[in-house]
Amino acid sequence: MKICVCLKQVPKKDSILRIAQDQKWIDERDISYEMSEADAYALEEALRQKEAHGGEVIVISMGPERTRQSIKEALAKGADRAIHLDDPIFEQATDAAGIGRAIAAALKDEGCDLIMTGLQSDDHGFGQVGLIIAERLGMSSATIVMEVQIETGSVRVKRELESGWFQWVRVPTPAVLTIQSGINQLRYATLKGIMSAKKKELREVKAADLNLTADDLKPLQSIERAYVPEKSKQTEFIEGKPAEIAARLVEKLRFDARVF
Amino acid sequence: MDYTLTEEQEQLVNLVEEFVAGEVNPYIEKHGHEDFPWPLFRKLGLLGLAAIPFPTEYGGGGLDYSTYAVVLEEFSRLGTRLGSVLAVHGLPQLIINQFGTPEQQKKYLPPLSRADLLGAFALTEPHAGSDAQAISTRAELHDDRYILRGQKIWITHGGEADVYIVMAVTDKSKGARGISSFIVEKNMQGLSFGRRERPMGLAHHTREVFFEDCEVPRENLIGQEGDGFRVAMTALDSGRITVAATSIGLAQCAFDHALKYSVERKAFGQSIGDFQGIQFMLADMIAAIEAARCVTRKAAYLRDRGMPFNVIASIAKLLATDAAMKVTTDAVQIYGGYGTSEDYPVQALFREAKIGQIVEGTNQIQRMIIARELLKKLRS
């Protein structure tokens, strides 16, 4: 079983985000990065499947030099080798179409049985890259996956639907699965894993290696403006008897403010 | 000398951060600091963090002291005591690794590395602290075993640890050269523990340790009879780097809280951080931390290269623990009345900082070491 996991490096959850001067994205200076959460679960699932069925886990990520840190983390946790799409030309690919195209091109000849991604990234949150890869490589796909059972020639997966409903589907392999956060318990890297990661293959791939040009990766969508949601302050007085006020307040907190 | 972290060091820092957020904080929230955190300690072993600078041959991480110091600092920066636990656990490992026989190494190092066993270092006695050669615990050889009689005090991990490195006098007439060191196991006959001591700070699991005709096999002597004082002092040289590292982490933790609070807290219509009085305090705090960190890294750097490092380790310990005391004191000041409340984090850090100026040789002893070594060079 050859499983490839697509990782994206995103700003750390506790980062203080500032809008960049051109108002198109965040100011990336002074920000620490981490593996997107759902991708971390995808990696964990891939490692568990490998431990159960044997095979190989390859991680692939696209991004600048700093991305190596997340790739190394994946290798330290147990991935066998890695592919890093590192080229200024890849920076053109700012939408799901471009990212999907580049990753699909890099994985075309790998012959993966499964490709796993997080269901969406913690930054852009397009939720499309996995599906675009599947489409480009002619693979079947399943999204929002909560459980994975590998069978011969197919994979049975539990998908999360709305309102607490689930669905079991069987898809033929090779397949792309987009994994939901919380599907498993994440492992920690170990000191031994960190040291052994140094010896594992980390292949750098340039756009030219994939016969891709900046034009091929030109985004089909663009961000008009990034901004912090504007806050407005409104005060509403609830009148009535204390019990009525309390009931109304609970309703407001639950349905309007959604604090519980 | 490179001041940036290596790739592995960065990964280890990330690992510590994840482990603290995912395991340590939830555990402490549930169980508090009262009991020794055995489940966390065992997990440190599983992660390979219980023997970072010791040889891979016996299950250690095989990394350098610089990396060890970075990891210890990070545990403290995140407000945990695990850096200090590892530092204390590291002393017996260091001694057995450096001075032990192959048999002792084979027997004790692997389980200490895996955190199956916890280690401790027993030197201090009720009447012998800074004057370490004044210890009175005796060890007499009878056939194939030493009989130990005496008492130790302030022994971190006392009563919890499975393996103790104990300093005892084998020949009183020889002074410091009459002191020997022994590996004593918790279950050896005649070893017992006193009440839990309650030093201020977070949670120090320290106890008195009693030796009442405690029988220790002859093969548990470390090195030769009379080597004990040198063994202890060599271990403490390295230990000072670890105390410095944990103190810097503690100071950084207090500073991070104080900096954040100085922006959040408003007085006279502005953040208190806008007042020069607070700004000067913040600047002095971070200056003390950065300076101590540089010296500590230098001490680790020299040790890693096999160069003399005892003076710089003493300077690092002195600067780092004084910095921690100053920074945590000022952090409480910046928090004002809230700083003294148990509902806020800085008072615990303040109380924790003090012990750093006392352990592993008081800061007065550090000054004596520094001056004595410099004068010795001049006179030789």
CATH of the domain at A118: 3.40.50.620
Name the residue among A68, A73, A188 with its Cβ closest to that of B47.
Answer: A188
CA–CA gap between residue B103 and residue B105 (Å, rounded): 5
- Within-domain flag for B99: yes
- For B144, the token pair is 């194939």
pLDDT at A16: 87
Q: Are residues B217 and B126 in the same domain?
A: yes
The dihedral over CA atoms of A156, A162, A165, A168, expressed in degrees to the nearest 10, equals -10
**Is A35 within the bounds of a domain?**
yes
Contact B19/A188, CB-based, under 8 Å? yes
Q: Cβ–Cβ of A194/B10 closer than 8 Å? A: no
Taking only Cα atoms into account, the Rg of chain B, rounded to an integer number of angstroms, comes to: 21
How confident is the model over A203-249, as pLDDT tens digits? 999 999 999 999 999 999 988 999 988 888 888 899 999 999 999 99
Judged by CB atoms closer than 8 Å, whether chains meet at B10 and A69 is answered as yes
pLDDT band at B294 (very low <50, low <70, confident <90, very high): very high
Place of tokens 């699909």: A104
**Chain A residues within 8 A of B8 when measuring between CB atoms:** 194-195, 198
Span A121-144, mean pLDDT? 96
B215 by Cβ neighbours in 10 Å (0-12 / 13-18 / 19+) ranks as middle
Contacts of B15 in chain A (CB under 8 A): 188-191, 194
Q: Nearest-CA residue of chain A relative to B20?
A: A188
CB spacing of B49 vs A188 below 8 angstroms: no
Domain hosting residue B55, numbered range: 7-113
- Report the CATH number at residue B181: 2.40.110.10
Final residue in a domain of this structure, among B113, B147, B182: B113
B52 contacts on A by Cβ (under 8 Å): 191
Q: Search chain A and give the residue with CA nearest B56.
A: A192
CB contact under 8 A, A192 and B7: no
| Domain containing residue A21 | 2-210
Q: Could you tell me if residue B1 is inside a domain?
A: no
The verdict on B250 and B359 lying in the same domain is yes
Best mutation target among A66, A191, A192, A195 (most B Cβ atoms within 10 Å) is A191
pLDDT single digits (tens) A176-192: 999 999 999 999 999 99
Cα separation, B79 vs B16, in Å, equals 12
Q: What is the pLDDT of residue A94?
A: 87
Question: B-chain residues within 8 Å CB-CB of A197?
Answer: 11
Residue of A nearest to B50 (CA): A191
Number of domains in chain A: 1
Which of A34, A188, A191 is closest, CB to CB, to B61? A191
Convert the pLDDT of each residue in B208-234 to its tens digit.
Answer: 999 999 999 999 999 999 999 999 999
Nearest CB to B7 within list A72, A186, A188: A72
Q: Which of B98, B113, B128 is the last residue of a domain?
A: B113
The answer to whether position B2 is within a domain reads no
**B182 Cα to chain A: minimum distance (Å):** 30
> Is there a single domain that holds both residue B215 and residue B281?
no
For residue A112, which of A168, A67, A204, A49 has the smallest C-alpha distance? A49
* Phi, psi for A116 (deg, rounded to 5): -115, 140
- We report the CATH number of the domain holding residue B47 as 1.10.540.10
B197 located within any domain: yes
Residue A241 lies in a domain: no
Residue B204, pLDDT > 80, answer no
- Mean pLDDT across the stretch A124-135? 96
- Angle made by CA atoms B60, B64, B68, in degrees to the nearest 5: 80
Residue B203 has pLDDT above 70, yes or no: no
Nearest CA distance, A241 vs chain B (angstrom): 36
**Number of independent structural domains in chain B:** 3
Q: Residue A69 falls within a domain, yes or no? A: yes
Residue of A nearest to B68 (CA): A191
Question: Domain check: are B225 and B239 in the same one?
Answer: no
Sheet with A140-151, edge to edge strand ranges? A166-172, A154-160, A140-151, A175-179, A114-118, A2-7, A56-62, A81-85, A202-205
If you measure CA to CA, which chain A residue comes closest to B59?
Answer: A192
Inter-chain CB proximity A195 and B8 less than 8 Å: yes
* B197 and B319 belong to one structural domain: no
A14-51 burial string, b = 16+ CB within 10 Å, else e? eeeeeeeeeeeeeeeeeeebbbbbbbbbbbbbbbbbbe
B63 contacts A72? CB cut-off 8 A: no
Token pair in block for residue B311: 């003076």
Domain membership flag for residue B178: yes
Confidence of residue B202 (pLDDT cuts 50, 70, 90): low
Interface with chain B: mutation pick from A44, A71, A194, highest number of B CBs within 10 Å: A194
Q: Are the beta carbons of A191 and B46 separated by less than 8 Å?
A: no
- From B113, B141, B156, the end of a domain falls on B113
Q: Which chain B residues touch A73 with a CB distance below 8 Å?
A: 11, 14
Which of B11, B48, B52 is the closest to A72 by Cβ? B11
Tell me the pLDDT of chain B averaged across its residues.
96
Chain A and chain B share a number of CB contacts under 8 A equal to 45
CB contact under 8 A, A191 and B49: yes
Give the model's pLDDT for residue B285: 98
Which residues of A make CB contacts under 8 Å with B? 34, 68-69, 72-73, 76, 186, 188-192, 194-195, 197-198
Helix axes B7-19, B65-77, angle to 10 degrees: 30
Task: Read off the pLDDT of residues A95-115 as tens digits, 9 standing for 90 and up.
Answer: 999 999 999 999 999 999 999
pLDDT average, residue stretch A59-80:
96
Beta-carbon contacts of B248 under 8 Å, excluding residues fewer than 6 positions away, are: B73, B76, B289, B292, B293, B296, B320, B323, B324
Which residue from B minimizes the CA distance to A77?
Answer: B15
Q: Which chain A residue's Cα is nearest to B53? A: A191
Q: Name the minimum distance, in Å, from the CA of B294 to any CA of chain A.
A: 22
User: Based on the domain organization, do B107 and B173 belong to the same domain?
Assistant: no
A87 in a domain, yes or no? Answer: yes
- Residue to test with chain B: of A77, A188, A190, A200, most B Cβ within 10 A: A188
Catalytic residue list of B = 360
- Test A191 with B7 for CB contact under 8 angstroms: no
Report the C-alpha gap between A28 and A44 in whole angstroms.
Answer: 28
Using an 8 Å Cβ cutoff, are A2 and A11 in contact?
Answer: no
- Rounded to whole angstroms, how far apart are CA atoms B125 and B103? 29
Contact list in A for residue B14 (CB cut-off 8 A) is: 34, 69, 73, 189
What pLDDT score does B1 carry? 86
Closest residue to B48, CB basis, from A69, A186, A192: A192
Q: Would the CB atoms of B12 and A194 count as touching at under 8 Å? A: yes
Q: Which residues of B touch A189 (CB under 8 A)?
A: 11, 14-15
B102-125 residue pLDDT tens: 999 999 999 999 999 999 999 999
- Is the same domain home to B29 and B107? yes
In a domain, A248, yes or no: no
The tens digit of pLDDT for each residue in B11-49 reads 999 999 999 999 999 999 999 888 999 999 999 999 999
* CATH number of the domain enclosing B367: 1.20.140.10
Give the pLDDT mean for B328-346. Answer: 96
- H helices then E strands: how many in chain B? 11, 10
